[in-house]
Structures are given as C-alpha cells and as structure tokens.
Chain A
C-alpha cells in the first residue's frame, strides 16, 4: 500500500549515502590513507553535501483511484481482541461518555487525543513518517475533505475492511456515500459534516444577512473575518459568483483569490481566522464571519443575537472523515469503533454534544424524543431544501493546492 515506487530508489540512495559516510570501512580506510588537513577538509565538504543531499524531502506521489480500489478489495482485518488503541480528533468533537461506553462494551482502552487543530498543521506534523512508510502511532485520524482526499491519493491510508462495520455500511447518509476522492467509501467514513455560511450579530447589523455578497459589502468594512484556509474561503467566494467550486478550475480559484485580495486591500476584512473567529464575533470586534454552522449553534445558545444563515447562493458542505493511516497498528479496533459510532443511538448522543450535522441515518428521529428543539434546528438537521444548496470542494493535486495556498497566503499574510 505504501510503497512509493517513484521514490523508493531515492530513499535507497539516501541510505547508501549515509552508509558510505558513516559506516563503510572501505571508504574509511581510503580516507585514512589520505588523511591530512586538506584531505580532511575535502572529506568534510563531501560529507556535508552528501548529508544535505540525503536530507532531500520525499514527495507524495499521487496514485490512481482504480489501483487503490484494487488494493482495497483484498483487505482483510481479522477479528482480534481489542487492546489499547489511539484515536486522534479535533477538540470538543465528541461526548466523551461515548468513549467510555465503547471501552466497557468492547474491552481495551481508547486513547483519545484532541490534537488536530488544523488539517495542514497536523499533516505537516506526521508527513515525515508517512512519506518514510512508518506508522504514525494513531489508529483513527479525522481530516476534512480536501486533506482526506490528499491522504487517499497519496496512499497514506489503510483501506477499511467493511465486513467489520455493517452499521457504517447500512446507516451512512446517501449523499455522503460517493465523494469524488473515495467512491464507495473504501478508505474513509464521515465523522460529522457542517456548512460554511454567514455567522453574524443581528444586533450589530440591524437586519438579517442572507447573501455571500455581504462579506464584500462596504457597510461592514473592517468588521468581517474570512477563514485563512484557502479552499474554505475561495469556494465560498466562487459560490457567490454562481460557480460550483467542485467543478471550478484552479484558474477560477485563483481569480477568486484576486477578488478577495482586492477587498482585503480595501480593508474590508478585520483578519483571516481559524476557529478563533468566534472570539471576535462574541466580543464584538466584528459583525460578520465566514463561520462553521456547528460553532454558531453553540454561540447562539449563549447569545441569541448571534445568527447563522445558509447563504441563498448555496454553500460549502464539508465533511470531517475518519480514516486509518497507512501502516495502522490496530485496524480491527478502529473499524469496530467506526461501526459503533454508526449506531443511530450513539450518533445521536454525539450530535447532541457537538451540534454538527450527523452523517448517520435515523438520528433526527431519535433526537426528537430527547431534545425536540435540537431536532428542529436546521443547522444540525438541514431540510432537503437547504441541502439542495450544498456544494463540495474542488479536487486538487498537492502541487495545485500549493499554488492556491501560496496565492492565498499572500492575501492573508499582507
């Protein structure tokens, strides 16, 4: 799965280079014969440049989906007793009683780590192990669509043994069954979904906001935040222009960046944020944010003036996906857990805690019994009408994504 054919030779070269410098007795012998100040210096220079060449950073070659599907077809993760295993997730993204219940029911212990704050940063952190073909010590990681797509295409994932997860197969929402990067969900399972829309303070705006144009409305000059993530923000900008981001080219995205840059240079935006736009909004530094739907459910509970609107032009629906990293050490435990959270009762418990859109069928009916207000909340359970406006991200290769990130970084970083 993880043999990166294009790069295997360079890795071998690296190893032999290191060996030559450090351990090869023959070359050491040679060097000893010429030992002298100048020869030593030459050796040092050669050593440093060999060391530097050896420091080359491996790439992440893209694989084609058909090859991946073939590998996935043969996957078999036999039933084994569940021991200690690790689940890496975003902060505040589960009702922890669910974890305790899983431990009680299936044995073993899940080490739950809230370490993912940003897709790119997390990837940056584990990238060296992934490209070197080593396990990253985590059995499930949760990544948003574009990053999950990148992991799938680079072969940084272990295929799911769907025999171990009948619930997941049966209860997954139909609309999430075939994302472009993983048709048939051979490698990933949705954790939660959400929408990107207008988060605003109605007391400050004095009226309801409905359109993506509001982000560019000079009325709110200097009182708006957009997200620093390129695909989140630019996809939204494109939807505002009537373009479906999933079908848009890199060039169109770059034009979106230009539109954003123009507004940014006119001081339209207070700043480009991560999840921390919530502070700016609750403290009144801004009146309007490009916001995540689930955040706004929680903020509105504290301050009813804070509203979320699905833009009338449509909006990005993103999904955070559970996946097994390449060389995963406890695949069976991970799959049993995925199966567990696809039991509607468990999914309902998680939905009540996190307030994002659950990817599991039958949750709304269960929540209706315990919390009718939440069941009626269209931010958690969007109507079919709203769901019609949902769009997804474009699929970019790592190189394309870098080009977009670079252009975006120029706007967000002044």
Chain B
C-alpha cells in the first residue's frame, strides 16, 4: 500500500485547476447584471430556467448529434479495433499509430479541410450528384449530416483505442472454448467477444459522447444556424454577448444532463465496467 499522501499532487492539481474554476463558474451561473454595471452574485436561479426555455432546441440537438456520432463511431471502430487486435500481426503498432496520427494536427485545421473538400462545387459533392445520391440542389455542408459526420470523424480515435485495449486483452481461449462447444463463429462473437468487450464499448462511448455534446467546432465550420449546438451558444454568450451568467448556467446544465445520461447508461451496462476499464 502506498501512503495516502502520494495522491496529494493529484488532489492539489484537481483542486486548483478543476474545482476552483468550477466553483467560480457555478457562482457566475447564479449572478445577474450587465456588462456595464458588472455582474453580482444574486443567487438568481432564473438563469437556469431561462436558459432551458431559450436554448432547449440546441440542447436537444447536441444530445442527438452526440448520440448519433457515438453510434457511427461504434459501428466504424469495432471492426477496426478487432482487426488491429487480432489480424494485424506485425502491423499492429503501425496501425495504432495511424489511428492517433490525426491528433498530430489541430482539430480546427482538419475540420477546415473538410469544409474545403465538401464545398458545393467540389468533386465530392459533384460525384455524389452524378451518381444520383445527391439531388441537383442538394449539398453536404450546412446539413446535420455534415456536422454529425464531422463529430464522428474527429472523435473516432477515442472509440478505437479503448475498444482495441479491451479486445486485445480478452482471453482468446474463451472464444476457442465457445467454438469447441459448438457455437458458430457468429454466436461466439455475439455471446463471448462482445460481452467481454463491454468495458471498451462503455469507455469508448463515454469518451466520444461527452466531448461531442459540448463540441462547437464542427457545427461552426460544417454547419449553419440550424445545426448549432449548445457549445456554440455557450461560446457566443461568453465571447460576443458577454452574458457570462447565461453561459455558465448553460455549461452547468450540460454537465448535469451528461451526468444523468451517464448514470442511466452505466446502470444499464453495469457500473462494474467503469472500474474494470480503469483497472
């Protein structure tokens, strides 16, 4: 056993860089005032009800987009992780590097290049029109599909890596045992591989879903006003409107809603998985 004070640096770090700003913003969320007179603590909980009333659609949209992006990522990442864990052989390290490689470049830059690739007169949209997937006046940019796609693209590695980790350390003799006991490969996959990969699925979904809900870069660059998410609203209120209380209240609403969501999700998948992943 390590002495408890080994945790002290981490605790101090959290206290200074996590708790203090959080408490500060919690305070701001119940202030009122305007930029001229300043904002003072008035414990006005109305900020929260106003925020829900005014920005309900964006909150809802954020959860829908984040949820869709998580599902898309899961569907794409599972085969990738499976392949890397079992079939990649000596290319394993190389493929894992490929998965993380996009992180070497700023997210904004990568998203801007999608903005350029997907332009209305670009070859991507042009080809899709030619083969009839898109109508003559359809576009990709400034649609929900573009924003969900952008989010899924940007957060994909967060899904691949935990899935890979849990598939990699899965005891493969269990799969063998299943097939020995006359399970078809499909059944073995369904009854053995997937359940044992649950910690990875759980961790991956959270790692994608949580930041995706607060994302604003994709909606700002690939979307339009009809695709703006709660992150865009928060950013706008903080930086343009200088309405700090509303922005802070929205941030806390988001935190609260995500916590509730995770609570339900982990109750369904079993909270044991959380600690398993951590360990």
A residues near B, CB below 8 A? 7, 10, 48-49, 51-53, 55-62, 118, 120-121, 124, 127, 228, 264, 269-272, 279, 283-285, 397-399, 402, 405-406, 409, 411-414
Contacts and interface: CB of A to CB of B under 8 A. Distances in A.
B23 A413 contact: no
Interface stretch (B65-73, B113-121, B165-173): B113-121
B119 A284 contact: yes
B116 to A, nearest CB: 7
A56 B236 contact: no
Given A271-B224, A414-B226, A59 B58 contact: no
B241 A52 contact: no
Contacts of A48: 23
Contact of B115 (A269, A279, A284, A411): A279
A7 B33 CA distance: 14
**Interface footprint category on B:** 35 or more
Contacts of A60: 35-36, 38
B236 A283 contact: no
20 contacts: A49-B41, A52-B26, A56-B38, A56-B40, A59-B37, A118-B239, A120-B242, A121-B239, A269-B225, A283-B119, A283-B120, A399-B35, A399-B36, A399-B37, A402-B34, A402-B35, A409-B236, A413-B228, A413-B233, A414-B57
A272 B36 contact: no
Contacts of A58: 38
A283 B33 contact: no
Given A270-B142, A413-B233, A52 B27 contact: yes
B28 A62 contact: no
B106 interface: no
B34 A59 contact: yes
A56 B243 contact: no
A283 B141 CA distance: 12
A284 B235 CA distance: 28
Contacts of B36: 59-62, 397-399
A10 B35 contact: no
Given A59-B33, A414-B225, A406 B120 contact: no
A406 B54 CA distance: 11
B239 A120 contact: yes
Interface string B238-273: 111111100000000000000000000000000000
B242 A402 contact: yes
Given A61-B36, A409-B240, A270 B31 contact: no
B227 interface: yes
B275 interface: no
Given A59-B36, A409-B237, A285 B141 contact: yes
Interface in B139-156: 139, 141-142
A269 B226 CA distance: 11
B181 to A, nearest CB: 55
Highest count of chain A CB atoms <10 Å: which of B36, B40, B233, B239: B36
Contacts of B243: 402, 406
B16 to A, nearest CB: 13
Nearest to B30: A52
Contacts of A285: 119-121, 139, 141
Interface in B208-240: 223-228, 232-233, 236-240
B24 A55 contact: yes
Nearest to A229: B240
Contacts of A49: 41
Contacts, number: 120
Given A57-B28, A399-B36, A414-B57, 12 more contacts: A52-B27, A55-B24, A59-B39, A124-B238, A124-B239, A279-B115, A283-B116, A285-B119, A398-B242, A402-B34, A409-B236, A414-B225
B3 interface: no
Contacts of A269: 224-225
A406 B233 CA distance: 11
Contacts of A61: 36-37
Contacts of B226: 414
B119 A405 contact: no
A412 B225 contact: yes
B9 interface: no
B89 interface: no
B279 interface: no
Nearest to A154: B36
B122 A59 contact: no
A284 to B, nearest CB: 4
Contacts of B24: 51-52, 55
Given A57-B33, A59-B33, A411-B225, A124 B242 contact: yes
Contacts of A57: 28, 31, 33, 38-39, 244
B27 A414 contact: no
B34 A264 contact: no
B119 A7 contact: no
Nearest to A404: B241
Nearest to B227: A414
A400 B38 CA distance: 14
Q: Which 9 pairs between the two chains have the least Cβ-Cβ distance?
A: A59-B38, A52-B27, A284-B121, A283-B119, A414-B225, A271-B224, A57-B39, A398-B36, A398-B35
Nearest to B225: A414
B120 A284 contact: yes
A113 to B, nearest CB: 19
Q: Select the residue from A118, A120, A271, A411 with max chain B CB neighbours within 10 A.
A: A271
Contact of A413 (B41, B119, B122, B232): B232
A271 to B, nearest CB: 4
A399 B223 CA distance: 30
A283 B142 contact: no
Contacts of B139: 285
A317 to B, nearest CB: 23
Nearest to B245: A57
Nearest to B221: A276
Nearest to A59: B38
A279 B117 CA distance: 12
B38 A405 contact: no
A118 to B, nearest CB: 8
